[in-house]
Structure 1
Amino acid sequence: MAFARPFYRDGLLNRRDVVASGYTQAVYKLAGAGDEQMARIRDQLATMSRGWPVDQVRRIVAGAIDELIAPYVYAEALVLIEQHRAAGRDIVLVSSSGEEMVRPIARLVGADDVIATRMAIRDGRFTGEVDFYAAGESKAEAVRELATRNGYDLATCYAYSDSVSDVPLLSTVGYPTVVNADRGLRRVARERQWPLLAFRNPVPTPLTRIRYVLSRPPGGSLVPMAAIVTAGAAVTAAIWYARRRRPTARIEPAPQRPGA
Structure 2
Amino acid sequence: MSEQREFLAQWSVSQGNLRRFLEDLALRPLDDDAQRTAGRAAAAAAVEETFGINLDDFTLGVDSVGGAFATAGRGKITLPDPEIPQDAEAAAFFDVDNTLIQGSSLILLAKGLFRRHFITLSELAPALWKQIRYRVSGSENAADIAEGREQALAVVKGKSVAELKAACKEIVDQQMLRKSYQDTVELAAMHIAAGQQVWLVSATPVQIGQALAEQLGFTGALGTVAEEEDGKFTGRLVGDILHGPGKQHAVAALAALQQLDLSKCTAYSDSINDLPMLEMVGVPVAINPDRKLRRHAKAQGWAIRDFRSVRRVVRAGAAPVAVGVAGAWWWLRRKRR
Partner of 1:148: 256
SS at match of 1:11: coil
What TM-score do the two structures reach when normalised by structure 2? 0.56
- Rounded to whole Å, the distance in 2 between the matches of 1:164 and 1:44 is 24
The correspondence for 1:199, drawn from 286, 307, 321, is: 307
1:138 maps onto 2:138 in alignment: no
- Trace 1:1-260 onto structure 2 (pairs within 5 A): 1-29=107-135, 30-132=137-239, 133-200=241-308
Q: CA deviation at 1:175?
A: 0.6
Deviation at 1:201, TM superposition (A): 8.0
Write the distance in 1 (CA, Å) between the matches of 2:154 and 2:292: 28
| Secondary structure class of the residue paired with 1:69 | helix
Give the letter aligned to residue 265 of structure 2. Answer: C
CA 111–21 in structure 1, closer or farther in 2 if over 3 Å, else same = same
Maintained 8 Å contact 1:75/1:201: no
Cα distance 1:49–1:182, how it changes in 2: closer, same or farther (>3 A)? farther
The match for 1:252 is none
User: What are the superposed Cα offsets for residues 162-191 of structure 1, whole Å, 9 maximum, x if unpaired?
Assistant: 122211000110110111122332233233
Instruction: Give, in whole Å, the separation in 1 of the partners of 2:278 and 2:235.
Output: 30
2-structure distance, mates of 1:114, 1:93? 4
**What is the deviation of 1:154?**
0.7
Q: Give the distance between the partners of 2:306 and 2:174, measured in 1 at CA.
A: 24
The code of the aligned residue for 1:179 comes to: I
Counterpart of 1:141, as a letter, is H
Post-superposition Cα deviations, 1:90-119, rounded to whole Å, max 9, x if no partner, equal: 111111111111111011121102211110
Structure 1 residue ranges, 4+ long, deviating more than 4 angstroms after superposition: none
For residues 126 and 182 of structure 1, what CA distance do their matches in structure 2 show?
34
Q: Which has the higher contact order (CA 8 A, sep 6+)?
A: 1
User: Higher strand fraction: Structure 1 or Structure 2?
Assistant: 1
Paired-residue identity, %: 28
Superposition deviation, residue 69 in structure 1: 0.7
**Which letter maps to 1:33?**
E
Asked if 1 retains the 8 angstrom alpha-carbon contact of 2:214 and 2:220, the reply is: no
The equivalent residue for 1:209 is none
Retained in 2: the 8 A contact 1:33–1:164?
no
Q: 2: CA distance between counterparts of 1:50 and 1:64?
A: 20
Please state which structure has a larger fraction of its residues in helix: 2
Please identify the structure whose Cα radius of gyration is greater. Answer: 2
Instruction: Go from structure 1 to structure 2 and tell me whether the alpha carbon gap of 1:69 and 1:58 turns closer, same or farther (over 3 Å shift).
Output: same
Residue in 2 aligned with 1:205?
A: none
Q: In structure 1, how many angstroms separate the alpha carbons of the residues matched to 2:269 and 2:117?
A: 33
Offset, 1:9: 2.7
Amino acid at match of 2:305: L
Alignment-mate amino acid for residue 303 of structure 2: P
1:197-250 deviations in whole A, cap 9, x for unaligned? 111489xxxxxxxxxxxxxxxxxxxxxxxxxxxxxxxxxxxxxxxxxxxxxxxx
CA RMSD of aligned residues (A): 2.0
For residues 139 and 152 of structure 2, the distance between their equivalents in structure 1, rounded to whole angstroms, comes to: 17
SS at match of 1:199: coil
Aligned length: 202
Secondary structure at 2:279 match in 1: helix
